[in-house]
Chains A and B, each alone.
Chain A
Amino acid sequence: MTPVLKITDLHKSFGDVKVLTGIDLTVQKGDVVSLIGSSGSGKTTLLRCVNLLEEFERGTIEIAGEAIGYREEGGRRRRLPERQIARQRAMTGMAFQQFNLFPHMTALKNVMLGLVKTKKLGQDEARAIAEKWLDRVGMIERKDHFPGQLSGGQQQRVAIARAIAMNPQLMLFDEVTSSLDPELVQEVLAVVRDLAADGMTMLIVTHEMRFARDVSTKVVFMDQGRIAEEGPPEAVFGAPKSERLAGFLANSEI
C-alpha cells in the first residue's frame, strides 16, 4: 500500500545552520507518529517541511505517492508554482502552537473559510461540515464566538476542527498544547486522542511524553537534525538504546 507520507533523505538548512540532515520516515494510513526530542532538534522544522511552510534543499517528501513542493526539470530541481503548492498543502492539515485562528471571524467562519475558498463548496454544505467538526471537538455551542472570546484550549479545538474539516490525508500537530495553561492541556489532548482512535493518520510534535506514549503507534526521537531512534512507544520509552534518548527521557516528565 502507498504510504500516506514518505520522506526520503530530507536536508534543510537555515543559512549555515543545518537543521535537518538526512531524514527518512514513512507513515502508513492510520499511523500516529510522535516526534520527540529537545528544542532545536528539528522536529517542528520537519513538520513545517511536510506542509511546505519551509523550503528544503535536498530529498523528497511524498504524500499519498505524490512528490510535493518540487519537481525535477532537465536535471534541475525547481519549486512548483504557487497554485500547485497550495493544492498540495491542503492534502495535509496543520494545527499550530499559537492556534492562529482568524481573529475577525467567528469559530464557524474560521472552519468554513477553507471549505468555501479552497474547496469551493457552497455555503450550506460548508456550514454543515464545519458544524459537524465543531460538534466533534465540543465547540458547537461556541460556534458564533470570536477567537478573542474563547480560552486557549477552546481556540485550539476550533483550530483543529478547521484543519480536519478540510479532510486531509494526514494531520500535523505542532506542539498544540505548549502555549496552553496547564489546566487546558487535557481538553485538547482528549480531542487528539479521540481523532487518533478514529483512525486519523497523524504526525505529532509534542513535549507531552505521557501523551506520546499513550496515543502513538510509533515514536521518533530526533537529535541534532536526524532521527536518532524510532520504534513502538514501549520500546522507545521502556528500553531506550542510546544514551541521548535515555538522558532526554530522564529530563522529561512521564
Chain B
Amino acid sequence: MDYDFNFAVIWRNWDLLASGLGLGLFLAVVSIAIGCVIGLVAAFGMLSKHRVLRWLSLSYVSAIRNTPILVLILFTYFALPQLGVALEKIPSFILTLSLYAGAYLSEVFRAGLVAQPKGLREAGLAIGLTELKIRAYIIVPVMLRNVLPSLSNNFISLFKDTSLAAAIAVPDLTFYARKINVESFRVIETWMVASLIYVATCYAIAAVLRRLERRLAIPR
C-alpha cells in the first residue's frame, strides 16, 4: 500500500476534537443521570401490582427498545417540531438518549430487583418502615450495588451512542472528525484518530467504573 500518512491536519485541529469529546462526555453523563431516574421508575412500574402501571412501563420499554436509536434521534429532532414540540439540537438529543437509556437501564434494574430476597423488605417492614423508605434505604441501594457491573457496560455503550448526535449536527467528536475529513481529505488519519480517541475514552471510563464497583461492593 502506497499511502503517505500525514497527521498534520489532525494536530492543527486538536482543539475541535477535544471540544467534541467534551461535549460527548457531557451528553452521556446528563443522559445517563436522567436515564437512571427514568429506568428506576420504569423498573418499579414493571413490577407494580397495578396493571395500568405495568402496562405503561412495559409499553415504554418495548417501544424504545424496538426502535433503532438513530430513528429515535431523527424523530425527536425533525418530527416532534411538526407536532408542536420544537427543541434545540442538544436538548433534543439529551431527551432521546435519556429515554433510550431509561429503557435499557430499566431492564437491568428490574433484574436486580427480582433477584433480591423478599426477606429484606419484610425486615424493613418489621422495624416499622413504610414501603417508600424501604425502597430508598434498603431495596434500591442493595440493588444498585449488585447490578453495578452490568450498569458499567450500559454506560459505556451509551457514551458510544453519543456519536450518533452528529446525525443532527450536534458538534461532538464524530461531527468534527467528519468536518476535518471533508475539508482535508485525510480520510484514514481522521477516522483512525477519532476511533483511537473513542477507544481510549471507553477504557478510561471502564477503569473509573471498576474502581467505583470495588469501592461500593457489599463487603463479604
Contacts and interface: CB of A to CB of B under 8 A. Distances in A.
Given A102-B138, A149-B220, A114 B128 contact: yes
Contacts, number: 77
B153 to A, nearest CB: 22
A146 interface: yes
Given A53-B122, A113-B137, A148 B128 contact: no
Contact of B126 (A82, A87, A94, A146): A94
B127 A90 contact: yes
Nearest to A109: B137
A123 interface: no
Interface in B112-146: 117, 119-120, 122-131, 133, 137-138, 141-142, 145
B123 A117 contact: no
A211 interface: no
Nearest to B121: A100
A82 B131 contact: yes
A114 B133 CA distance: 10
B125 A53 contact: yes
Nearest to B118: A100
A82 B124 CA distance: 13
Contacts of A83: 130
Tell me if B's interface is mostly helix, strand, loop or mixed: helix
A162 B122 CA distance: 13
B119 A89 contact: no
A237 interface: no
Contacts of A101: 123
Q: What bracket does the count of chain B residues touching chain A fall in?
A: 20 to 34
A96 B128 contact: no
A170 interface: no
B128 A51 contact: no
Contacts of B130: 82-83, 86
Interface in A106-123: 113-114, 117-119
A146 B217 CA distance: 11
A98 B122 CA distance: 11
A23 B182 CA distance: 84
Contact of B218 (A53, A89, A93, A104): A104
B219 interface: yes
Contacts of A114: 127-129
A230 to B, nearest CB: 26
A148 B145 CA distance: 14
Contacts of B127: 89-90, 93, 113-114, 118, 162-163, 166
A149 B219 CA distance: 7
A172 to B, nearest CB: 8
Interface string A68-111: 00000000000000110011011011101010111110000000
Given A102-B138, A102-B142, A117 B129 contact: yes
Interface of A: 51-53, 82-83, 86-87, 89-90, 92-94, 96, 98, 100-104, 113-114, 117-119, 146, 148-149, 159, 162-163, 166
Q: Which 8 A-B pairs have the closest CB atoms?
A: A90-B128, A114-B127, A100-B123, A148-B220, A118-B128, A100-B119, A146-B219, A94-B126
28 contacts: A82-B131, A83-B130, A86-B125, A86-B128, A86-B129, A86-B130, A89-B125, A89-B127, A92-B126, A94-B126, A96-B126, A100-B117, A100-B122, A101-B123, A102-B120, A102-B123, A102-B138, A102-B142, A103-B218, A104-B145, A113-B127, A113-B129, A119-B128, A146-B219, A148-B219, A162-B123, A163-B126, A166-B127
